[in-house]
Amino acid sequence: MATASMPALPSRRLVLADLVPASRARTAVLVALGVLLTAALAQVSVPVPGSPVPITGQTLAVVLTAGALGPVRGVAVQALYILCALVGLPFYSEASGGFDVVFGATGGYVVGFLPAAFLIGLAARRGADRKIWQALPLFAAGQLVVFAVGVPWLAVSAGLTASQALEAGFYPFILGGVVKAGVAALAFRGAWLAADRTR
């Protein structure tokens, strides 16, 4: 008697972290490493004259961790990063931390890491991190999400007008954001090429 074959279910798209052999500790280790990477790149800090917001490597870390880990683990990294700073660990720029820092004038940028990580991770889960021409606008747009939260927060916290907040908290960071998006796009393209060769 002939039996009808079951149609193959579509396989879930992988992010880079899914190439790591599965274990019970894998997610915890990857998230912890993501937090440490974000904290490390936060120490790459350049003051911006006239602005309380420094140029840091944090947004590059958000892009890298979210793209590599996917939406859920990417958000978990940034949520844990915020929690670590709240309890006083020196994980923010210039080795700062604490409640006042997290909810200070620059706090909105870090809060913006959460939706940015989700959107970047979701797009990466759908394969948008694999080709430079897709990854570059994705990673730039992800950073814009950070500024969409951070700039209004800065305006309210520091008592700035909209134009002053843009001058202090957005315009000086445009070039750096494009460079970070390019670095991340090249890194992901290289990582996927290497992964394809080894599979």
Whether the CA torsion 52, 137, 123, 195 is positive or negative: it is: negative
Q: Determine the CATH number of domain 24-191.
A: 1.10.1760.20
Angle at 63 between CA 124 and CA 97, to 5 degrees: 140
CA distance 60 to 139: 9
- What is the pLDDT tens value at each position of the chain, 199 positions in all? 444 444 443 456 899 999 988 887 899 999 999 999 999 999 999 999 989 999 999 999 999 999 999 999 999 999 999 999 999 999 999 899 999 989 999 999 999 999 999 999 999 999 999 999 999 999 999 999 999 999 999 999 999 999 999 999 999 999 999 999 999 999 999 999 998 887 6
The reported pTM is 0.90
In the chain, how long is the greatest CA-to-CA distance? Answer: 80
